[in-house]
Amino acid sequence: MTGAVLDKLLAIFGTVALGWIAGRARWLGPRDGVQDPARVLGNAAFYIFVPALLFRTTAQLDLRALPWATQAAFFVPALALLFAVYGAQRWRQRGGHGAAAAPSVRAVTAVFGNSVQVGIPMALALFGDAGLAIHLTIVGLHALVLLSVTTALAELDLAHAHAAHADARSLARTLAATARNTLIHPVVLPVVAGLLWNAAGLALPPLAQEVLQLLGSAVVPLCLVLIGLSLAYYGLQGQARNAIALALLKLLVMPGVVLVVAHWGFGLAGLPLSVVVMLAALPTGSNALLFAQRYGVLAPEAAAATVVSTCAFVATAPLWLAVLARL
């Protein structure tokens, strides 16, 4: 573990701690049946700041320059694990108990990594400019792929939960509602709009570029404060077991699956293999909490899993670096 990565981890803990202090001191007001400051802050991030970041990223992404084989070596196993976690959670809910969006929330918590706040300095410190370039090409599609898929799964489950009958007409209405809600969504819509803008070959006007950059720069600190705030309001009571399980999936299972598929399935070796495995080994990103806030389920668990995995990353990152060194 390098000094630069440790400094970033300490900065993350400090920002989360500030949010926790704000929550304990009730600086943003008490949490009651009328007002929930953590939910309000989460909605601000999800409906204003994150869409600005996603649109700006996708509108400027150079799709022709992306190393698609390396992308596939990361996203194929990542999506396989996402669907496995989602399927396992759906199987646990086969009796109809539990919130409809819960399987999707746990799936995204188990696979969505902190690819910017921790990932960028880690890639630069460990692999230099060449490794950072590979890392950034995957980061460009990270939220687009993982959040879009889990959004579709969550909306499909919600539509099924509200369907009155299972006949053909009900199924058609369910599919139509799912498609509409998936597209008109604060994550998917700006991504689609950004890709269309990109495909049209248009440049962002300077004023729009400045506004989007200002809004997007607020995402990371806002989300970290939100994690601390959520921990202060909701606490860890009853969350530790599931949070640890999700952290283990993120820190141990996901990089292991990516390593096997990328190396023995796609033939990756050397620097590209190291980059994709260490990207997979990153702790849970704060977007998992935003996703949980969006659907009003498992927010305390997502916040706890983010903190637990970030703390444990100090121990698991050297483990994966040692495994890669042996290869």
**Which pLDDT tens digit goes with each residue over 180-198?**
666 676 767 887 888 889 8
pLDDT at site 179: 66
pLDDT at site 13: 80
pLDDT at site 1: 57
| Residue 233 exposure: Cα atoms within 13 Å on the Cβ side | 27
- Domains of the chain, with CATH numbers? 3-326 (1.20.1530.20)
**Which pLDDT tens digit goes with each residue over 9-42?**
788 788 888 988 998 888 887 766 556 787 788 7
pLDDT at site 254: 97
pLDDT at site 34: 57
Task: Give the number of residues written for the chain.
Answer: 327
**Which pLDDT tens digit goes with each residue over 279-302?**
999 999 888 988 898 888 888 899
Question: Could you tell me which residues come within 8 angstroms of residue 26 by beta carbon, excluding any fewer than 6 positions away?
Answer: none
pLDDT at site 164: 44
pLDDT at site 165: 44
Question: Could you tell me which residues come within 8 angstroms of residue 194 by beta carbon, excluding any fewer than 6 positions away?
Answer: 54, 55, 56, 57, 58, 59, 61
Residue 112, phi then psi, degrees to nearest 5:
-85, 115
E strands, 21-61, are none
Burial label, 106 (beta-carbon count in 10 A; 0-12, 13-18, 19+): buried
Give Rg (Cα) of the chain. Answer: 19
Report whether 119 contacts 282 (CB < 8 A): yes
Digit-by-digit pLDDT tens for the chain (327 residues) are 566 667 777 887 888 889 889 988 888 877 665 567 877 887 888 788 878 887 887 788 777 777 888 999 999 999 999 999 999 999 888 755 568 889 999 999 999 998 877 787 788 778 887 887 788 778 878 877 898 899 889 888 887 777 644 454 555 666 666 666 666 767 678 878 888 898 898 889 999 999 998 998 887 788 788 878 877 877 666 678 899 999 999 999 999 999 999 999 999 999 999 999 999 999 998 889 888 988 888 888 998 998 889 888 888 988 998 899 888
pLDDT at site 147: 85
Q: How far is CA 197 from CA 59, 185, 204, in A?
A: 6, 18, 9
Predicted TM-score (pTM) of the model is 0.78
pLDDT at site 265: 95
